[in-house]
Each structure stands twice: as C-alpha cells, then as structure tokens.
Amino acid sequence: METIYFDNNATTKVAEEVLEEIKPLFCDLYGNPSSMHTFGGQIGRRISRAREQAAALLGCDPSEIVFTGCGTESDNTAIKGALAAVPNKRKVITTRVEHPAVLTVCRELENRGYRVLELGVNRQGRLDLAELEEQIDDDTALVTIMYANNETGMVFPIERIAELARSKGSVFHTDAVQAVGKIPLNLARSDIDLLSLSGHKLHAPKGVGILYVRKGTRLSPFMLGGHQEAGRRAGTENVPGIVGLGKACELAAANLEEENSKVKILRDKLENALLEKCPDCRLNGDTEDRLPNTCNVSFEYIEGEAILLMLDKYGICASSGSACTSGSLEPSHVLRAMGVPFTAAHGSIRFSLSRYSTEEEVDYTIEKMPAIVNQLRELSPFVAK
C-alpha cells in the first residue's frame, strides 16, 4: 500500500490544480511585480487575483489581505505590530494551548515588561469566557487566542471572544492557521481585527501565509524595506506561493461544506473504531466544537513515539504532538494544560485527515492499530502481566 498520510495538521499535499496554476511562474512568467514593464505588470495582476480569491474565502475586502512568508510570520507581525501601535498599554491575554508561534512571542514579551496572562482550559480543552471577560481591562492592548487547536482540533468560540475584546477596547488577533479551509469564516461580519493563516495547511505550497488586517486596525510593519503589500510587508513577493495560495483558497471556498462533511465521516469512523477496539484508549478533546479532520487519542501505558514507529512500518503517517515539538520527549503542552495525566499524554497520537483521505486508508489503519497497541502493551513495563 502507498503512504497513508494522516498528518495534515502538520502540512498538506499541494493540490494538483494549485500546481498547474503556479508552474508557469518559474520559467515563463518570472517578472518582478514591482517592475514598470508589461512583463512584470502581468505578475502584479496575478497577485491581485490571489488577493481576491483569499478575500472571498475569508469574507473580507481584498485590501485587508497582507501576504506573508508563513503562519509564524503572520502571528509575530500581528502580536508585535499591534503592540507597537499602542505603546501605552502593557497587558496581553492569550491561552496556554497556543502554538509556539504565539506562545514563544508572548513569553518573550514578558522580558520586555509586558504582563502576559495565559488562560487555562478545562479537561475538554475549553476556555472559561467569564474569566476572559473579567481579565480584559483598560491596560489590555491585545487578546490573541487561536481559532482551532492544532493538536486536538478543539475550536474556540472566536466570534464571541472577538466581540468581548472589542467591547472592552482591546485589539483581537486569532491564529486561524488550522481553521481556514475547515470551517466557514465571514470576517466582514465579525469583530476579529487580525487573523493569521498559512498556505501549506490548505493545499498551497510552503513558505506563504496571510495576515488579515481589518480596515482601520493600527499595526506597525514587521518587515521594513520596499513598499510591497502597501507598505505593510516589505520584500519581493513569493509569487508562486501567493498565486498558489489564492488558488487553494478558491478550491477551499468552492467545496468547503461538502468536503469537510466527507472528512468528518471518515474521521469519526476511525475515531469510533479506535475507541471501541483498543482498550484503555480515550479521546483528547470533545466530540463537539472540533475541527472535522482531527482526532487526538491517548493509549495508556505505551509511548506515542513507539506507536508512530510501528505505524510508519505500515506506511501510515500520524503525529504524537505538534510537528514542531517532535524530537522532544516532553509531553505536549496542550494536553498538559487540559490536565491529561502524564502517562496518557505520553501515549497520545494525532490523526489529521484531508480531502484526499479515503475510506480504504481509514479501514487499513483500523485493521492495524489494535494489533500495534496490543504488541506494545506486551512489552510495556507499566502493564501487569
């Protein structure tokens, strides 16, 4: 059997339609969009089209789209840029379950004299909105809370949170890297000021992202230099990346509901079978308010890394935490924040599906997993024999 790729929250395959769109941009249409000549000008028009395609998916105005180099850059720009624009306010509110692209920036802010509050989550990975409301005060410059968690897929009530932040005069940023393309968004009807997304999570190439900046939001640019992106992000544009991301947004918008309900059926089949067939296995997160593609389960008494290696032998790719932290044996900060016991956090596996996942792949994984778990438990020093 060919590779079964269930690690789509780490990165996704570039869609064939996207690849076709960007191919001519390497050797034929390679002009610089900032050039005065016609050759460069036609590239500029392709970037404008990509901006419109992205705006259509997000439900915003094309002028509110800023192309960046990745989700991490969008997050960094949003946080640092929003704070630089309101230097008199010194408090930032975030959560303990953010991606390192947000958490590391926030922790560094503490060294610069900011008060950073990391809100906790409950066992299902949910926030306490009353606590958030209480904590946003006059000194709060920024609230930055992810739309959907990359490890568990849990989706926060971002519209409500954005409304709260706005009512209290704070700027609101959301890291929507895992949400875009999986749940419908309409930014024109929301109070979100800043939103980050990343191309490689939605079947566009790596190395391109977007920062949505709501009209009127004050933001200092992160990259200084030329006047690309209306002075909001200097640097010659990654034209193939941008055009590819535009096409990927168009594909996502065209098939969002249909594709995601298909993905959810497959994810649920996999998840229910694992919970039923593998003893001492539990779901991390909740069945409600979750991305349709993500399944995070813990297998007690065994190591997630050992499961991954066995899955790998069968050509099945999954993950034992976020790809950025793999290589470290520390259990996931997200699962720890949810109060998942140490042993269960160590034995956690994330399966993340995509529109290209098939029922045959799910069935094959369901067939292999119980045997893998049994075999590893036989070897486990923690299981009474």
209 binds ligand PLP (CB under 6 A): yes
By the 8 A CB rule, do 93 and 131 touch?
no
* 338 CB-near residues (< 8 Å, 6+ apart): 97, 121, 122, 123, 124, 125, 152, 284, 285
Return the number of the residue (73 or 193) whose C-beta is nearest ligand PLP: 73
Range in contact with ligand PLP (rule: CB under 6 A) among 71-79, 155-163, 311-319, 349-357: 71-79
72 binds ligand PLP (CB under 6 A): yes
333 binds ligand PLP (CB under 6 A): no
Return the number of the residue (105 or 302) whose C-beta is nearest ligand PLP: 105
Query: Which amino acid appears at position 145 of this protein?
Result: I
Does 60 qualify as catalytic in the annotation?
A: no
Q: Which of 310, 304, 280, 298 is nearest to 375 (CA)?
A: 310
Among 21, 175, 229, 271, binds ligand PLP (CB under 6 A): 175
Q: Distance between CA 52 and CA 250 in Å, rounded?
A: 9
Return the number of the residue (21 or 75) whose C-beta is nearest ligand PLP: 75
178 binds ligand PLP (CB under 6 A): yes
| Ramachandran angles phi, psi of 283, nearest 5° | -80, 135
Return the number of the residue (200 or 377) whose C-beta is nearest ligand PLP: 200
Among 12, 170, 174, 198, binds ligand PLP (CB under 6 A): 198
By the 8 A CB rule, do 171 and 143 touch?
yes
352 binds ligand PLP (CB under 6 A): no
CB of 359 to ligand PLP, least distance (A): 26
Catalytic site residue from 27, 281, 295, 324: 324
**Structure-token pair, residue 302:** 């065994």
CB of 322 to ligand PLP, least distance (A): 6
* 251 CB-near residues (< 8 Å, 6+ apart): 15, 17, 18, 203
Range in contact with ligand PLP (rule: CB under 6 A) among 44-52, 175-183, 217-225, 293-301: 175-183
Query: Which amino acid appears at position 312 of this protein?
Result: D
Classify burial at 235, counting beta carbons within 10 Å of its beta carbon; exposed 0-12, middle 13-18, buried 19 or more: middle
Point out which residues bind ligand PLP (CB under 6 A). Answer: 70-72, 75, 99, 101, 146, 150, 175, 177-178, 198, 200, 209, 322
Catalytic residue numbers, as ranges:
324
